[in-house]
Amino acid sequence: VLGLGGCVIDARHSGPLEYSSESVEADDSELVRVELNMGAGNLRVSEGTQKLMRGDFSYNVPSWKPVVQYRRNGKQGTLTVNQPGHQHGSTGDQKYEWDLQLNNKTPVELGVHFGAGRARLDLGSLQLRGVTVEMGVGQLDMDLRGPLKHSYNVSIHGGIGEATVHLPADAGIEAEAQGGIGSIQVRGLRKDGGRWISEGYDRAEYKIRVDVQGGIGTIKLIAE
């Protein structure tokens, strides 16, 4: 998981809190792959912009100013937001936050690589085509509640921490959890062999399949 192997603490360049904003204009891409790579900090993703993306950033290590890139190949685009460097740590006085808004009309595949800290992903209003999260040490809160217009898969690979996933109660839900997970708490789904499914799973037009793997301390799946 990004940021875990060889993680070092470097406070030599921490200083006053700085702010920056970046935006990417929307186009007619039929699918945009959004890749977010954060080593350590607080991340929030939601909808709420007419652009493809608007990002507000705050940080007190100048060399960690996020790098935003967008490229297009035919009818597909790739948007990346990266924390510069390969080794990140925290001494307690370092601050690093991303607040990203995505367009809710563009079909999106979201990939989040998150080493340490906290991530809040409010994704239910987006046109999701898939979600992949790789988390290290910290807390993940993912909210997928909203009108479902397409089936998609959600994959969460964890390190150490806690993950909570809120699911739409009226959708077809199938969830599996494997690996060294400390505890699993499920509400609104019923156990069916080695998986959990929603009551209307077989009749649902669109479905969300959730796959959780790895050493997450606690996983909460809430469909209500």
**What mean pLDDT value characterizes the chain?**
89
pLDDT band at 12 (very low <50, low <70, confident <90, very high): very low
Q: How far is residue 129's CA from residue 126's CA, in Å, rounded to a whole number? A: 9
Question: Chain-centre distance of CA 29, in angstroms?
Answer: 21
Sign of the CA dihedral running 57, 59, 61, 62? positive
Q: Do the beta carbons of residue 207 and residue 149 sit within 8 Å?
A: no
Number of Cβ atoms within 10 Å of the Cβ of 53: 23
pLDDT digits (tens, 9 = 90+) for 75-109: 999 999 999 975 555 546 889 999 999 999 999 99
pLDDT digits (tens, 9 = 90+) for 70-83: 999 999 999 999 99
pLDDT digits (tens, 9 = 90+) for 183-211: 889 999 999 988 999 998 999 999 999 99
pLDDT band at 3 (very low <50, low <70, confident <90, very high): very low
Q: Who wins on pLDDT, 105 or 160? A: 105
The whole-number pLDDT of residue 8 equals 37
The whole-number pLDDT of residue 47 equals 96
